[in-house]
Structure 1
Amino acid sequence: MVSMTAPTGRKMIFLTDPIEDRARDWGDYKRNYEATFTAELLYPMTDNYEVMPWPERIFTRPYRLPNSDSSALIPKYYSTQMLVMVNALNHVPLSDNKVSGAQGIGVLMGNSLMFQRFPTHNSYEDPQFSNFYGQTLPLVKRGVPVETVHMENLSYPATLKHIKVLVMSYSNMKPMSPEVHQQLADWVRKGGCLVYCGADSDPYQGVMEWWNTKGNHFKAPSEHLFQLLGIRPAATGKQAQRFSAGKGTVYVIRQDPKEFVMQENGDKAYLNMITRAYQDDAKAGQLTWKNSFFLRRGPYDLVSVMDEGVSAAPYVVKGPVIDLFDPKLPVLKEKTVNPGQQAFLYDLSQVKDKQRPTVLASASRIYDEQRNGRSYTFTAKGPLHTVNSMRVLLPSRPGQIGLTGKSGKQISPAQTDWDALTHTLYISCDNDPDGVKVRLGW
């Protein structure tokens, strides 16, 4: 969706849902929510979010407990974590920072990708969209932040502006018009590097379409593209073929991308081809492999570590950081993220004014902040039957911690804890949609 809208200037809103439509358990929902949440934040050009579709199904419907046949309403620890994450989205800024890894590798997509969604057709299979994932996952698993490029947007100059190497295949989609090929050929001739993967043997190559009607007699749409580029690749062979076209370069490998991921170590030739294209032809720099992605947006650090990657090494973030996936909001000296895990952290070293009292993280929405001399007051509002968890930055250790409900009744916090190293106070209490007034004095 980012690649679909970015060249057009349209506003993009990301969705994450703490509950899936599939019937799973709370543990599964939590793992997938963390992964999806991290994924959306790894796109630093977007800061608009739909955070909770159908809130009633999240808070009022029971789902299975992990490793159990019994069901329960949302566990308190998960609702607190979810609210911390949702409220943090109000403060995560746009950023010009890039996700760690080699930039500028794109994979071409098109709306016709869904036309061939089938288990088997004329003995041809593309299980689980493997022809698409065959182009992307060998790179993603090696820490390359692959972009997607929509062929429908090729007429916009911004679409290919930052792309150094473009990967494409017609094993799983087809061009809707010959103009797509003219746009690609123009880009290559000006210095672009194109990688084509495909045996062109799926039955959809022969459907009655523009490339084989009205005077055209191409057996496959790629033949039209190759003609415009002035190249004649061999029809078979698993070795990469390299061609020059104007100032640019074209690589052709006669394998459908599904073979890269459905066969063990099937991606070796593909990765060698991408490396050569990126380093030698596009001259885009060193293409290095790793098993992680990292991005900083303001004081927020995002980490995702790949399983099935180049190593099983964890990614370590030096602290002090607040772990925003932990409902207790602990301050950590360092955070270790293992393969298959993600992390959402508040980097306390990025706080610009350490003398200004501020709620850094909270499972509630913060209103009516007042800073007066040696006191800091605010009102915290959150859903009923949930637990609020807050980490507050203060100039000094508070001598006074007062919590008051709407009626004026004093509330005893469930837990408080002062971290002297970072000058942050942890407070936990029940949430109230009418608000809990917090007064801190030092």
Structure 2
Amino acid sequence: MSRSRTEERTGFQESGPYHADYDLQTDFVMVYGIDATMEERIGQWREKGYVVHLMTGIAWGTYNDYLDGKTDGREHWDEAQTDRNGKMIVHGTKPVVIPYMVPTLSFTDFLAERIRIAVDAGVEAIHLEEPEFWVNGGYSEAFKREWQLYYGEPWSPPHVSPDAQYRASKLKAFLYTRALDRLCAEMKDYALLRYGRQLRFYVPTHSLINYTQWRIVSPESRLLELPSIDGYIAQIWTGTSRTPNVYEGVRKERTFETSYLEYGIMQELVRGTDRRMWFLHDPIEDNPNHTWSDYKQNYIKTVVASLLHPGVAHFEVSPWPRRIFRGKYPSEDGKGKEPIPADYATTLLHVMHTLGNMDQNEIETEDEVQGIGVLIADSAMFQRMKPNSADANEGKYDGTDPIGFEKEGNREMLDFSPFYGLALPLLKHGIPVRPVQLDNVRRFAHYLQDYRVLLLSYEYMKPEYPDLHYALSGWVREGGALIYVGDDSDPYHRIRAWWNESKGTSARGRTYVSPREHLFEQLELGEVGGGVYKVGKGAVGYLAVRPDECAVSKAGAESLRATVRQAMEMLGDPACVWRAKHYFKLRRGPYVIAAAMEESVADEPLEIEGPVVDLFDPALPVKRNVRLAPGKQSLLFDVEAGRPKSGEAAVISASSRIEELTHLAAGFSFIARGPASMRATARFYCPLKPISATLECEGKTEPAPWEWDEGTRSVLLHYRHGDENKAKISVAWKS
């Protein structure tokens, strides 16, 4: 597990100064915020050995000097995102008003001057987080001006028609794309010209699924077209993934399933590119009203869901560790608040250091059928307001007040059932369905070649270009199975777009009621009814219902599954056969990642043979077998698969950064680094049973408790890091 920090496999973000209590010993740290203390904070973390990045918000921040006109002599409050009632859309509830911004050219220039300060401070990379424009925004004077410049026509209130809403959202995505392109390109040029330094830029962003569900517009896949962007952080955590959805008529939180889909679409954002993706986890969330046990069980769900996507092996292990390891949250008995339980803190450190070892060459899965996807496009974000909706349908939801939002009457919109109605019926039956970025079909040649079955609906999104259908048609004819679900009832089919313009958008100049008609024309299906049809070497299944109907009842979900099964059978490929199961299980080298499903085809535990070490247990117990109950997840270390061939001592898991592992004639020693004030444990392969273990910490030497497991020939060590975040542990045995 020893590695150079320059690999940047794990990191975290923190706005506070360095403190020993939350020195997580990852590879890099993202110092948050540009203020008078920034340079000091950068120096503190760099002195502790970290690679230092900087993170700051691109949509919001303490930009009041700019808003008040102190930077250029003109007030800029007209650039705050504003709803139809003239109310500013603000971030948080701080005493200082912090509005979300319309990213005008003036605002972008202001940000460039602030970021220049960070470049001068010598950071190695900059993260511009959360380029967000709320769906219920689009009414400020600045946005009206941008509309006129972009469309060459007078502004239209976004709520008055589907066309106005779609165009407003498309403009919102463009504005943040433009801002990021200008900022990153200009600052890269500045760093190279002035310092001869290659500066990197990353965009921490929620998933396309979450932004659509929460009714936020962001550039998402458009960032792939910007050469100045080096990668992303997938901002997925309990707060996004516990948003309720509907499956077989039951609405509830499904954190594992939702995060599985969220991480899946973010993996797609970099698949086939050389860009970096870090998956984020958060041991708590922005909503401070949950208990530690609630945070823990949901954290475990998101970690396991992320590890089931082996295309990514870099992680942001925590945002804001200060609020985790020094904060207090409601106690289980409801009587006040309490700090993080010691066991949970130790578990978190084990997971965080294990995440740095996930770049494994050997990947094994029990899923016999791969390459099944649900298509989703950036345009899903563009139609998230009901036409002519009342004020009650325009609320802002950020995951912190679900009850208050539901009172606004937005529950149906928040459920996002048209998408989940296609994804959950397959996922719940153990089919490894992946969200697939429709926009990438025209960006990358052969983008669909890894997929055999794709589900598609234009009732919650639209294809921005007709050539997408030529690619889909060719893919089907070469042996793919396309399942289309929709009844052409979505009012957004009538927006001004290529499929209904009268000036000859097709070879015959005809127009279409919906883009589905154009797709079926390319497939030579014509006006067919529901069913499954042979097209070339492939198949097309057509379910002529709204996709949300596949979510609201068992019959709807089963109808979708039956259509998928029939289309797969029509392919006649023994390697593409429906095989339902009630779990997911994946091996990444010696690590076994598993989840047993609720609401699935069986209600029995998943059996996993040992010996394995349970990495979610701070005691790192060796288990001869594991029985994983429905709704539970596990991260295990296969002792035999990971055993070193040399027969020397080696790390199985540690709640510390392990350095200087030294093999001696009658034992071994190592340096452990980690947060102060926390219990630490580590399990090592050990060729012989120890006779003693000692801890050297804070200038003292003392015995270190240890436990021996004869069956696996491993030793569990107990120790602490001390206030200096460093300890030396020595283990001795008789030869």
Aligned to 1:346: 637
Please state if 1:171 is matched with 2:463: no
Shift of 1:192: 1.9
Distance 2:569 2:561 in 1: 12
Q: 1:391 aligns with which of 669, 680, 683?
A: 683
Contact preservation (8 Å) 1:366, 1:380: yes
Aligned to 1:133: 420
Give the TM-score normalised by the residue count of structure 2. 0.57
Shift of 1:430: 2.4
Amino acid at match of 1:144: I
Equivalent residues in 2 for 1:24-423 (5 A)? 24-95=290-361, 97-101=363-367, 102-118=369-385, 126-155=413-442, 156-213=444-501, 214-215=503-504, 216-234=510-528, 240-281=530-571, 283=573, 284-350=575-641, 351-353=643-645, 355-407=647-699, 409-413=700-704, 415-423=705-713
Give the TM-score normalised by the residue count of structure 1. 0.94
Contact preservation (8 Å) 1:233, 1:241: no
SS, match of residue 637 in structure 2: strand
Aligned to 1:16: 281
1:331-376 CA distances to partner (integer Å, 9 max, x unpaired)? 1111111111100001101113372101211111111111022210
Shift of 1:69: 4.2
Amino acid at match of 2:657: R
Distance 1:74 1:307, change over 3 A: same
Distance 2:676 2:487 in 1: 58
Contact preservation (8 Å) 1:119, 1:127: no
Amino acid at match of 1:84: H
Shift of 1:438: 0.6
Shift of 1:282: 5.7
- Please identify, of 55-64 and 78-87, the stretch whose mean Cα deviation from structure 2 is larger: 55-64
Distance 2:719 2:310 in 1: 33
Shift of 1:209: 1.5
1:104-125 CA distances to partner (integer Å, 9 max, x unpaired)? 2111110011122247877995
Distance 1:118 1:69, change over 3 A: farther
- Contiguous gaps of at least 5 residues in structure 1: none
- Contiguous gaps of at least 5 residues in structure 2: 1-265, 394-409, 505-509
Amino acid at match of 1:111: D
1:63-100 CA distances to partner (integer Å, 9 max, x unpaired)? 11234242112111111000000011122233452543
Distance 1:48 1:127 in 2: 30
Contact preservation (8 Å) 2:376, 2:438: yes
Amino acid at match of 1:391: R
Identical-residue share of aligned pairs (%):
35
Distance 1:355 1:434 in 2: 30
Contact preservation (8 Å) 1:144, 1:289: yes
Higher relative contact order (CA 8 A, sep 6+): 1
Question: Deviation above 6 Å: which 4+ runs of structure 1?
Answer: 119-124
Aligned to 2:731: 440
- Please identify, of 200-209 and 301-310, the stretch whose mean Cα deviation from structure 2 is larger: 200-209
When you count helix as a share of all residues, which structure comes out higher?
2
Distance 1:289 1:189 in 2: 26
1:125-148 CA distances to partner (integer Å, 9 max, x unpaired)? 555111111111111111111122
1:223-251 CA distances to partner (integer Å, 9 max, x unpaired)? 1111111112446xxxx422233332211
Distance 1:13 1:126 in 2: 29
Distance 2:644 2:719 in 1: 28
Distance 1:205 1:346 in 2: 51
Distance 2:638 2:386 in 1: 46
Distance 1:67 1:308, change over 3 A: farther
- Structure 1 vs Structure 2 CA RMSD: 2.0
Distance 1:69 1:171, change over 3 A: farther
- Please identify, of 22-31 and 293-302, the stretch whose mean Cα deviation from structure 2 is larger: 22-31
